[in-house]
Structure formats: C-alpha cells, structure tokens
A and B are shown apart, each in its own frame.
Chain A
C-alpha cells in the first residue's frame, strides 16, 4: 500500500486526470498548492511595483494505491504532467500504514479498490 503524491503544473492537471482515468486509477484527491522547484522566477509589474514570483501555483495529487498500481500511477502522472520545461513538478511515493473506507469500515487493499458497479 503506497501513497503517491504528485505535484504538477495546474495547466496540466486535466491531462493528468485523463491519464489516471485511462490507467484505471480512480481514487484521487487534488489541492492547489504553491511551491518552488528551481524554475526561473516570473516577473510581474503592478503600477510602480515590480515583483519576482518565487512561488508558483501547483496542483498536488494524492493517490493511495495498492502496490501493483504504483507504477501505472507514476506513469500517468509523468505522461499527463510533462512539458519538458523546468517546473514540471515532482512525484513522491511514501509507504502507507493503513487505509480505511469510512462508509464500510473496510481496511487497506479493499479500501483503495474502487467499488465495482
């Protein structure tokens, strides 16, 4: 059981969702975050004030998956999120101690397996 965290460009978030859907990864949470990953600063000017935007908007995916889904999830994040420019983001895979589906109380593997319709 692993938690895959992917931080991608917001404009690529839809492409990532599509890629995840094609990989049959269905359980996803996303949030808007700000971060900096070594890309060049963007300069903005408001009247007389010039600023460098050090923190860029990013979209953070959190996906809890069983072990055999880790690689397809990583592939989907890479395929959907890549532009080739600096700033495409990162993927972190971390071990997951437990997962519980609140509705049924199912644990772990059963909790992260999509409900069969």
Chain B
C-alpha cells in the first residue's frame, strides 16, 4: 500500500495486518515506551479542509509517537476551496519535502484526487472525504470490535442513523464485509438511506426495535443538526423517539452487546446519556485505540515508501 484511501478495495489479509500491527503498538500507547523512532526524519502534514478535533489530534499524537515531524494546516471550509487552489496548496506543500499527507475534505473523492496528482514518493491517508470514506475511523472501529469480541465471523452488527451522509458507515460496511461479519444491518428512515444500499451487502431496517434484535455490536452515527432542514426529518424529538438509542432498546440486543459511536455524540438526539455513559458503551475506548491504529497505518505506508 502506498496510500490509504478506502477500505473497499482491500483484502482480508491487508485489513487483518493493520489490526495486528496496531496491536503491536498498543503497549507503546499505554505502556512504558512513549515513542518509537520508526518515522524519524519524516514530515507529515495534517491537511484539514473541514473542522475536526478528535481525528486531527489523534493523527498528530500518532505521528509524534512515531517520531515524525508534524505540520497542521487547517483551511476554512467556509471559503469555497476550488480544485485548482486545492492542487496549488498541495504543490506548495510538496515543495517543502513532505512525506505523507493526511487529508480531510468536504468533497467525495478528494483524497483519491490528491493521490493521483502528487509526486509518487508521497503517501496520502484519507481522514474523511465528503460522504465517501473515512477508512482510519473504520479500522479503529474494527480494532475495538476485535479487541472486545474476538473474531468477526459470528458477529451481527447494526449501524443506526444517517447513512446517507456518512462516510464512516460506508467504510465500516466494507471493512465488516471483508473481515467476514455474519450479518450487517442498517437502521434508518428511508430519507437517510442512499439508493440501493442493500447492494453493499447489508440488511435494511426502518424500525430500530426489529433491527437491534440479537445484535452483538450497535454502531450509532452522528446526526448533524443541519439535517433537520431540507425535509429529511421533522424534528430532533421525533428522531430520538424513533431511532434514539435508549437503555430499553439496548436490551433488545445480545446481552453482551457493545455500543459504539464515532463521535462527537449528540446526547438526547441519537443516544441517551444513560447509554453513552453506560456499561455497554465503548465510545471512549474507540478514541484511545485510535492512536495505535493510526500509528499502524502510518508506519505501514512509510515502510513501503523506503
């Protein structure tokens, strides 16, 4: 792998390899060794065209623990960033002898676009492009699931919420399918489901009670406030009433089911505080595992560069 743009086209071995490598960094993260010199002398640029705290900081931490030099560049998403200036921005940074770009952009396909137009020795990691993909998030979710649940082949996983606009969900669906999850369900009103989503290998549910029955993993998606405009949903209240994850609904799933969320969470909109902070929630574990997983991906790409 030279770039890490999407989970869709990767093999089971490649995904497992990422999870195994992340495992080897877990001690580094939580234990005695704070830093490894794997990326010493490399320059990594966090190029964020959309606001982000969690993803950017965990990438930064991961890069620093690999001893890389890190540069953070935030470009306001309010200004219309046209492709031309996107490419110009990139060329300028390229001239500073960068080794790796981590990019988040509001356009689907932006990371792939950059990977096609930069010098061949530079790697690109997709940190979220439009509605298309967020593969490092999906991998840290897979890591979290494997850590707690073991193998994927017996797992029923439900993804609940705004799948139409979710790059996280698309990357999760591909990763779960490739890793061999037994069943992948999506639960949402039709207004929040993209056309033909069943072709991605998922079962569609419009009622959360039916969809959550006996699942081992519940993945909640963030519902952005602006979705309340444009006739996708009538109100936050009604959304919570129909799709909000409550203690009673969690009880419909398998006894030891885990509750996940890519964050940031909207308490009282897609998830109740009781569940978010409850015993089955692994939301904060996802965040702490994210550093090891991102270290693994960066190290693997850098290893292929030399």
Q: Are A and B physically bound partners?
A: no
